[in-house]
Amino acid sequence: MTTHFIEAEIDLTETPITLQQEIEKELAKRGKPLRWAITKVDSDQKKAQVEAIVTQP
């Protein structure tokens, strides 16, 4: 098992619950997330940057 640092860009949504689901769905494509954080928000572009640590078999 290896760990990887990744960055992802997520479209902002209306509700925080939906945003969390979108982040978890995107991270699951790249491995099993150990932790993640929103590190930047661009309100003009309606995007959030997420940094995460994921594990892959």
How far apart, in whole angstroms, are the C-alpha atoms of residue 31 and residue 54?
5
Number of domains in the chain: 1
**Per-residue pLDDT tens digits for 1-57:** 899 999 999 999 878 889 999 999 999 999 999 999 999 999 999 999 999 999 998
Q: What is the pTM of this model?
A: 0.84
Pull the structure tokens for residue 9: 């860009």
How far apart CA 29 and CA 24 sit, in angstroms, is: 9
The parent domain of residue 47 ranges over: 2-56
